Structures are given as structure tokens and as C-alpha cells.
């Protein structure tokens, strides 16, 4: 899987459903394990991150609230539409995000020095959090930066507050992020996958 992630010119890169990585044995096994706990969950978006010296970044406390959809359909509650790499994205309402998970599959060891993700535990219980309040709410929660080995996966509710600092090491930090949902979207709005 590491070879399939490759080098990025930007922080993250969307992985198309037709890409070999989507059908790899490792991803299939991970999806199967997720469905043993949450039978209705299915992958709806996959992104790869490759934090190295050339593409090093930091992200403040935030929630990921954007979903990838097949076409733009204006439905109440779905807003802030944009096209990224030819794919429609929008911010989903809390009722959708509350039924989603995100999984980070680590392809390399990741420690704090590598710019690993810091998590505000139990922050998803606060629901949708504005960018202005994200840091204060994260500070009110216990936080942790998991030390992950290659092959480890972290599974979190979609509305979990998280951040990452810039890497202070020269080691690569490759991660595949998979968003899962257990519902169909309303009306004529459809997941990209």
C-alpha cells in the first residue's frame, strides 16, 4: 500500500474508487473489520496523506465536515459547495456527520515528532463546533497523540476535534484516511462512491 500512496504536491490527495488501493487486500480487510462492529458502515471517501519535508504542514483544532458527492444537488443543510479535483464536496449537516466515522490507517510509524494527529477525546459529544470555538472545546477535553506503528488504525466519530503539528523529523508519515457512513443521503444527493 505504501507504494500506492506515492509523493504529494499538496497535503492530501483523494483516492478514486477505481484506484487499485481501493480494492487492495489491506483496505478490504479493514472495511470488513469495521463492518463486524458497525454492519451498515461503508466507505464513502478515501484520502492519502504523505507528510514529508517537501510537503509538511500543521492543522489547527478542527472537525472534518466535508463529504464527497456524485453531483451538486441543493438540499437544505448541505452547504459550502466546492469542486476539488473535479469532485463535488459540501459541508454536511450534523445529522449526517453524527452517523459517520473516519479511520486513519498508518502506513509508517507515527509519533508526535512526525506530526502525528492529536485527538480531543470525547469531543464529538459537543456536536458541530465552530472554528472559533474548536480550540477552547479541545482544551476542555482530555487530549492524546497516539504513537502509531505501521499498520495501526485509529477509528473515530466524524465530529471528533483533532489537529496535527508540522513534522520535526525527516521520516515519512503516510496515512490513508477512510470516511465511513451508515446512511444514504437525502433526495437525489448521492455519495461519490
Domains, the chain, ordered by start = 2-181 (2.60.120.620)
Residues of the chain with pLDDT under 50: 1-2, 4, 7-8
- Residue by residue, DSSP assigns 12-71 as EEE--TTSGGGG-HHHHHHHHHHHHHSTT-EEEEEEEEEEBTTB---EEEE---EEEESS
Is residue 173 within 8 A of residue 166, CB to CB? The reply is no
Q: Is the sign of the CA dihedral 40, 61, 144, 140 positive or negative?
A: negative
Do β-strands 162-164 and 59-62 pair in parallel, antiparallel, or remain unpaired?
antiparallel
Q: Is 56 exposed, middle or buried (0-12, 13-18, 19+ CB in 10 A)?
A: middle
Q: Is 175 exposed, middle or buried (0-12, 13-18, 19+ CB in 10 A)?
A: buried
- The contacts of residue 76 (CB under 8 Å, 6+ apart) are none
**The whole model's pTM is what?**
0.90
pLDDT score of 51 = 82
pLDDT digits (tens, 9 = 90+) for 46-99: 998 888 767 788 899 999 999 999 999 999 999 999 998 889 999 999 999 999
pLDDT score of 111 = 87
Number of residues written out for the chain: 193
Is residue 117 within 8 A of residue 80, CB to CB? The reply is no
Amino acid at each position: 500500500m505504501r507504494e500506492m500512496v506515492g509523493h504529494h504536491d499538496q497535503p492530501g490527495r483523494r483516492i478514486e474508487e477505481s484506484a487499485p488501493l481501493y480494492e487492495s487486500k489491506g483496505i478490504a480487510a479493514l472495511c470488513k473489520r469495521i463492518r463486524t462492529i458497525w454492519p451498515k458502515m461503508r466507505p464513502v471517501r478515501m484520502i492519502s496523506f504523505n507528510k514529508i519535508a517537501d510537503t509538511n504542514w500543521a492543522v489547527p483544532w478542527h472537525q472534518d465536515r466535508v463529504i464527497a458527492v456524485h453531483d451538486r444537488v441543493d438540499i437544505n443543510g448541505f452547504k459550502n459547495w466546492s469542486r476539488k479535483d473535479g469532485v463535488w464536496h459540501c459541508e454536511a449537516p450534523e445529522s449526517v456527520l453524527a452517523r459517520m466515522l473516519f479511520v486513519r490507517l498508518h502506513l509508517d510509524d507515527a509519533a508526535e515528532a512526525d506530526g502525528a494527529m492529536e485527538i480531543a477525546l470525547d469531543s464529538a459529544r459537543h456536536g458541530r463546533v465552530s472554528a472559533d470555538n474548536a480550540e477552547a472545546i479541545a482544551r476542555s477535553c482530555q487530549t492524546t497523540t497516539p504513537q502509531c506503528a505501521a499498520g495501526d488504525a485509529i477509528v473515530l466519530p466524524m465530529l471528533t476535534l483533532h489537529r496535527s503539528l508540522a513534522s520535526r523529523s525527516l521520516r515519512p508519515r503516510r496515512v490513508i484516511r477512510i470516511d465511513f457512513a451508515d446512511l444514504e443521503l437525502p433526495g437525489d444527493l448521492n455519495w461519490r462512491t
